[in-house]
């Protein structure tokens, strides 16, 4: 991430328990070479000290209109004009309500009302407050006025309740605001459905059939697509990776059948579909419902497998001309010919051919190389590189290919 370098950001910290995360947020921003000025409401200083935030941001923290009763004032207009972006994190129900209604009873509100740059709110509050109709209306008003909202996440809340209301994690917030400074938001407005990782087909309650896919390539596509402005629906086998960007909605689907059902339910609304999952071609004819025991004297065992659903082929039959349908192929021989056959068989617009021949390419590595083949016969080679860079280059290429 480098779009944040040398940017000027005002971080407004308001009075919620998530204010403690402001320290992490400032550290991450400073690490990205952002010039951060922190503003706080008076009550926020009960949750985290200005000293912590001024030390981390290397700038004085501003709270009042008048500096320490010296008669010198903090000029809200100059402050607002200085910033490339204003981030309100955590944004309490109170600050959201005031901002939505033009109330100006402290420095924070005066700076907000004077802003000409994008303003991003990261709400944090208790579950019931977040779901209250008045809060919902206020958030809608903020959006209507051109502000941006990083939705609160789901999790344990300070009240002991579990639900929506947790402030997005600092890493997610940084990834989100990084997008404002990305040169291109070429996937803005697009919904992209991505499958990733290996499926697990149960044999009995403790065993399953799977493969070596780690999901790294699919998740790299998801992160970068979200970074370029897309809303991403990630349908993932069980993986050890977490999606960071808040515009990625993750469904975990261990089996091919579950993966298919979520894909099918979201297929209509997807503009692009990227099928990066390594789906088991066969599953148990019947899953054994008790652990299979080792039998004395038995030296061989046969499992009867049946064909699994082919997600790509099933969705390919429903594909509309407006959709871009992208598949992967992993081949060990006759690579190009086999990949081309899959384009026809599964009705892909584009196939991304992985090779296992090159060292550093394929499963479980951080790098990969791809040969891209389109249904029109165009062939493009993306040399061995970091999977994230590769995802970026392919997505930017495809955004030109299918506008």
**Rounded to 5°, angle at Cα 370 from 213 and 199:** 20
Give the contacts of 49 (CB within 8 A, at least 6 positions apart): none
What is the spatial distance between Cα 246 and Cα 222, in angstroms, rounded to a whole number? 11
Residue 254, CA distances (Å) to 159, 174, 195 in order: 33, 30, 11
What is the spatial distance between Cα 123 and Cα 403, in angstroms, rounded to a whole number? 34
Minimum distance from CB of 314 to ligand CTP (Å)? 8
Residue 339, CA distances (Å) to 140, 261, 274, 316 in order: 47, 25, 15, 15
Q: Would the CA dihedral through 23, 158, 148, 243 be positive or negative?
A: positive
For residues 254-273, which are near ligand CTP according to CB under 6 A?
256
Give counts: helices (H), strands (E), the chain.
13, 19
Task: Give 3-state DSSP helix, strand, coil % of the chain, rounded to 5.
Answer: 35, 25, 40
Using CB under 6 A as the binding rule, whether residue 165 contacts ligand CTP is answered as: no
In the bound state with ligand CTP, the residue whose beta carbon lies nearer, of 52 and 211, is 211
How many residues make contact with ligand CTP (CB under 6 A)?
16
For residues 329-368, which are near ligand CTP according to CB under 6 A?
329-330, 342, 346
Using CB under 6 A as the binding rule, whether residue 200 contacts ligand CTP is answered as: no
Closest CA to 10 of 43, 55, 59, 49: 59
Using CB under 6 A as the binding rule, whether residue 194 contacts ligand CTP is answered as: no
Closest CA to 125 of 88, 95, 166, 89: 166
Q: Please identify which residue in 62, 279, 350, 398 interacts with ligand CTP, judged by CB under 6 A.
A: 279
Using CB under 6 A as the binding rule, whether residue 327 contacts ligand CTP is answered as: yes
Site stretch for ligand CTP (CB under 6 A), options 36-44, 165-173, 178-186, 306-314: 306-314
Using CB under 6 A as the binding rule, whether residue 283 contacts ligand CTP is answered as: no
Using CB under 6 A as the binding rule, whether residue 277 contacts ligand CTP is answered as: yes
CB 57 within 8 A of CB 51: no
Minimum distance from CB of 344 to ligand CTP (Å)? 12
For residues 24-43, which are near ligand CTP according to CB under 6 A?
none
Using CB under 6 A as the binding rule, whether residue 312 contacts ligand CTP is answered as: yes
Does residue 333 have an active-site annotation?
no
In the bound state with ligand CTP, the residue whose beta carbon lies nearer, of 25 and 315, is 315
Site stretch for ligand CTP (CB under 6 A), options 40-48, 305-313, 357-365, 382-390: 305-313
Using CB under 6 A as the binding rule, whether residue 164 contacts ligand CTP is answered as: no
Using CB under 6 A as the binding rule, whether residue 275 contacts ligand CTP is answered as: yes
Catalytic residue among 3, 75, 211, 380: 211
What is the spatial distance between Cα 214 and Cα 242, in angstroms, rounded to a whole number? 12
Q: Residues interacting with ligand CTP, by CB under 6 A?
A: 195, 256, 275, 277, 279, 281, 308, 310-312, 327-330, 342, 346
Which residues are known to be catalytic? Answer: 211
């Amino acid at each position: 991430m480098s779009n944040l370098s040398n940017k000027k950001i005002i971080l407004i910290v308001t009075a919620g328990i998530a204010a403690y995360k402001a320290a992490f947020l400032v550290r991450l921003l400073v690490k990205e070479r952002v010039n951060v000025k922190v503003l706080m409401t008076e009550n926020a200083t009960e949750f985290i000290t200005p000293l912590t935030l001024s030390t981390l941001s290397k700038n004085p923290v501003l709270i009042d209109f008048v500096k320490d009763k010296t008669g010198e004032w903090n000029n809200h207009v100059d402050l607002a004009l200085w910033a490339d972006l204003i981030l309100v994190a955590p944004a309490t129900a109170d600050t959201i309500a005031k901002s939505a209604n033009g109330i100006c009873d402290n420095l924070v509100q005066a700076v907000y009302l004077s802003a000409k740059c994008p303003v991003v709110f990261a709400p944090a509050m208790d579950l019931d407050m977040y779901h209250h109709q008045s809060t919902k209306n206020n958030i809608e008003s903020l959006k209507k006025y051109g502000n941006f909202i990083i939705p609160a996440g789901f999790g344990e809340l300070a009240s002991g309740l579990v639900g929506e209301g947790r402030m997005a994690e600092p890493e997610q917030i940084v990834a989100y605001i990084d997008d404002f400074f990305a040169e291109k938001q070429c996937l803005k407005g697009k919904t992209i459905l991505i499958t990733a990782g290996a499926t697990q087909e149960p044999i009995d309650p403790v065993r399953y059939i799977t493969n070596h896919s780690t999901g790294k390539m699919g998740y790299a596509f998801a992160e970068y697509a979200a970074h370029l402005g897309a809303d991403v629906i990630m349908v993932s086998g069980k993986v050890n990776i977490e999606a960071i960007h808040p515009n990625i909605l993750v469904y975990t689907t261990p089996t091919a059948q579950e993966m298919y059902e979520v894909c099918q339910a979201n297929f209509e609304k997807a503009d692009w579909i990227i099928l990066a999952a390594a789906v088991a071609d066969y599953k148990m004819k019947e899953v054994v419902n008790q652990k299979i025991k080792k039998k004395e004297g038995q030296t061989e065992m046969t499992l009867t497998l049946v064909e699994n659903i082919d997600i790509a082929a099933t969705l390919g039959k429903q594909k509309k001309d407006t959709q871009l349908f992208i598949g992967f192929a992993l081949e060990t021989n006759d690579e190009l010919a086999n990949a081309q056959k899959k384009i026809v068989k599964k009705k892909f617009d584009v196939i991304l051919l992985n090779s296992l021949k090159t060292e550093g390419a394929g499963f479980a590595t951080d790098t990969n190389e791809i040969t891209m083949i389109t249904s029109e016969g165009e062939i493009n080679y993306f040399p061995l590189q970091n999977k994230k860079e590769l995802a970026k280059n392919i997505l930017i290429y495809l955004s030109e290919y299918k506008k």
